[in-house]
Chain A
Amino acid sequence: QARLVESGGGVVQSGRSLRLSCAASGFTLSTYTVYWVRQAPGKGLEWVTVMSYYGNKTYYADSVKGRFTISRDNSKNTLQMEMNSLRDEDTAVYYCARESTWGAFDMWGQGTKVTVSS
């Protein structure tokens, strides 16, 4: 059965770095546009970054631009997000999500929690 599984979350000090991964199974990740979406405690959903299918375009939310980098390892069928210079406001559950041909997020991972402590 097709699914996404995130990993790499944890507790990190402000200013440090963390790398999240999103492993896909049951389908080829590189044929989809994929997103990272986050949800701060008690808050709504916030788009963070996106990589188009085949990886030719990437975009970032202003709040993470210059600090976060999205990448894909096609050999491992995984998506990564390198997060540098972490701030308290980056504390959230991070989800990877697949964009369907309908232009909607038809598949989400279970999420990985990132806590930035100062």
Chain B
Amino acid sequence: QSVLTQPPSASGTPGQRVTISCSGSSSNVGSNNVNWYQQVPGTAPKLLIYWNSHRPSGVPDRFSGSKSGTSASLAISGLQSEDEADYYCAAWDDTLDGRVVFGGGTKVTVL
């Protein structure tokens, strides 16, 4: 059972907007930055969003992140077939020395 809560699945047709939520607590999401990772099946995770809403170089601007209180969200606008992947949120937890906590992951399917 993951510390951060994500819906197990989300889906949309090409061009649609999909949003994934990530719920935590005051010791993790509520007091630390949230990062998002994309994992295409069979490959390593890739950093998608850092500091709640910042995109690393090379990540398309149709990916956006936000945070409010103890919840964060990732939005994919203009969904494309190559966006079909698993998405994980992560944050540091103030109650756990050196530990990062992950969400359980959300499988995004492009219909």
Q: Which residues of A contact B (CB under 8 A)?
A: 35, 44-47, 50, 52, 57-59, 61, 95, 97, 100, 102-106, 108-111
Contacts and interface: CB of A to CB of B under 8 A. Distances in A.
A98 to B, nearest CB: 10
Contacts of B88: 44-45
Contact of A104 (B50, B104, B105): B50
Interface in B57-111: 88, 90, 92, 97-105
A102 B102 contact: no
A104 B47 contact: yes
Contacts of B50: 100, 102-104, 106
A56 to B, nearest CB: 12
Contacts of A110: 43-44
Contacts of B47: 100, 104-106
13 contacts: A44-B102, A45-B88, A47-B99, A47-B101, A50-B98, A52-B98, A59-B97, A100-B47, A102-B54, A103-B51, A105-B47, A108-B44, A108-B45
Contacts of A50: 98-99
A3 to B, nearest CB: 11
Nearest to B34: A104
A46 B90 CA distance: 10
A59 B98 contact: yes
A111 B44 contact: yes
A9 to B, nearest CB: 14
A61 B97 CA distance: 10
Q: Which 6 A-B pairs have the closest CB atoms?
A: A59-B98, A104-B50, A104-B35, A108-B44, A44-B105, A102-B50
